[in-house]
Amino acid sequence: MNNKAQNLAEDLLNFIQVSPTAFHAVLEIERRLLQNGFAKLDERSKWTLSPGKKYYVVRNNSSLAAFTQGRKNVRDCGFKIIGAHTDSPALKIKNEGASVKGSLLRMSVEPYGGAIYSTWLDRNLSIAGRIVIESGKGDFESRFIDLKDPIAIIPNQAIHMNREMNKGVEYNKQNHLQAVFSGVSSDDKDEPSVLFKKLICQKVTLDPEKIVDMELYLYDVQSGLINGMNDEFISSGRIDNLSMCHSICEAITSNPEIDETSVAVFFDNEEVGSKTLQGADSSFLKDLLDRITFVSGGTLEDTYRSRALSFAISADGAHAHHPNYAESHDPAYTPVVNGGPVIKISSTYRYSTTSETAPVFKKLCRDVSVPYQELINRSDVPSGSTIGTITSSLTGIKSVDVGSPMLAMHSIRETTGVLDHFYMTEVLKRFYSCDLNRN
Ligand code: CO
């Protein structure tokens, strides 16, 4: 296994470790961008852009778009865009959902996205998210917390109480996913939800009186790690889709050529349909692209021209062939872990790939001697969706859907290849540094 690939995998694990929620992922991407000379823009302010300079903008603290302002006018060459999503399936805490039963303080949760629930049980869980506090003079301020310590658990039922358990358990989301936080003593006189808020505030030294709202999520405290006899696998939570966020972040900070304008966009809320203020099905990307065109002196017609000349890569995890469930795959399309980036294709266009856009990605792979694979689902298995088709239909930009092959997608612990992550990062770097041959 080459050293560069190992180092990159270690860096991905660090990236995931400090990104328990989409908010934290954006903070980490922001930190890396600032380190590499990117300047922050505010959507509410007037922008001035200089060719050769690098910028980023944030929405809702959970989506971010970064770009390098090219020397050529975008109406003549368009944008080179890569997108991924910052969110992952999780269990979101209901702030007023605390109850005490059998002397245990429990919080009810609401699933966010399509998690495999069974993988969340008997795990050491912590809490991270956004707390909004009153900062005086009627203003609100967002704080981002990560308790880091294991402070909660969702215990399974004992097999003695359900001898049929190994035939598969259907967990009731309201009753069976409640997380146990603490024992309660007879001295605790507070309402359960007040008690919960106080326990959180103790951990982050905040005054509970000042809290006006919270968006908190459970996450697994166990760090990701490299696995396999030859150190070939990456095993971690949130590989979908923080691995692609990490690759894109590496690519956009690796000094892309500056004639053309490169854009990296990280959307929240892909796992719940993308139709939010900051999701892929919002104005975020289109607003950004058109604003760059206008601020660069372009007209309304130039916005259409620049988008028609652009190309987008939508990067999201892809299902690798699972040898224990071989029957779930089309035998002609069996991408394997460590076999390189996967181009995702669907007749119903759940993926944005077309016979015109796939060859562009294949050429990028060949340019940097990276193998690629293709994926079409079994005809009787519907595919998931990605941000690719949404951004493509909203902006009129050609797009290809790709991703690194992975196992156990949406488990609390997913597996991908060390080489896959390296390969994908090399191809994305190549995209930003090439002069796209547009016809
Ligand atoms: Co995904």
Q: Which of 44, 85, 86, 26 is nearest to 391 (CA)?
A: 85
CA dihedral 59, 279, 23, 317 (to 10 degrees): -140
Q: How far is the CA of 137 from the centre of ligand 1 (A)?
A: 41
What's the CA gap between 426 and 430, in Å, rounded?
6
Q: How far is the CA of 384 from the centre of ligand 1 (A)?
A: 9
What's the CA gap between 318 and 405, in Å, rounded?
5
Length of the chain: 439
Q: How far is the CA of 380 from the centre of ligand 1 (A)?
A: 21
Annotate 122-134 with DSSP letters as a single string. T--EEEEEEEEEE
Q: How far is the CA of 182 from the centre of ligand 1 (A)?
A: 33
Q: How far is the CA of 271 from the centre of ligand 1 (A)?
A: 7
In sequence order, the 6+-apart residues with CB closer than 8 A to the CB of 209 are none
CB 310 within 8 A of CB 81: yes
Q: Which of 327, 285, 324, 276 is nearest to 307 (CA)?
A: 285
What's the CA gap between 210 and 312, in Å, rounded?
44
Q: How far is the CA of 120 from the centre of ligand 1 (A)?
A: 18
**Tens-of-pLDDT digits for all 439 residues of the chain?**
589 999 999 999 999 999 999 999 999 999 999 999 999 999 999 999 999 999 999 999 999 999 999 999 999 999 999 999 999 999 999 999 999 998 899 999 999 999 999 999 999 999 999 999 998 888 999 999 999 999 999 999 999 999 999 999 999 999 999 999 888 877 878 899 998 999 899 999 898 899 999 999 999 999 999 999 999 999 999 999 999 999 999 999 997 677 999 999 999 999 999 999 999 999 999 999 999 999 999 999 999 999 999 999 999 999 999 999 999 999 999 999 999 999 999 999 999 999 999 999 999 999 999 999 999 999 999 888 899 999 999 999 999 999 999 999 999 999 999 999 999 999 999 999 988 755 4
Which residue, chain included where needed, has tokens 């015109």?
356
Q: How far is the CA of 312 from the centre of ligand 1 (A)?
A: 17
Q: How far is the CA of 314 from the centre of ligand 1 (A)?
A: 10
Residue 218 — φ and ψ, nearest 5°? -85, 150
Q: How far is the CA of 49 from the centre of ligand 1 (A)?
A: 32
In sequence order, the 6+-apart residues with CB closer than 8 A to the CB of 105 are 98, 99, 180, 181, 182, 183, 184, 192, 195, 196, 199
What's the CA gap between 151 and 1, in Å, rounded?
37
Q: How far is the CA of 91 from the centre of ligand 1 (A)?
A: 16
CB 327 within 8 A of CB 369: no
Which residue, chain included where needed, has tokens 């929620």?
21
State if pTM tops 0.95.
yes
Q: How far is the CA of 417 from the centre of ligand 1 (A)?
A: 16
Domains along the sequence of the chain with CATH: 3-88+237-433 (3.40.630.10), 90-220 (2.30.250.10)
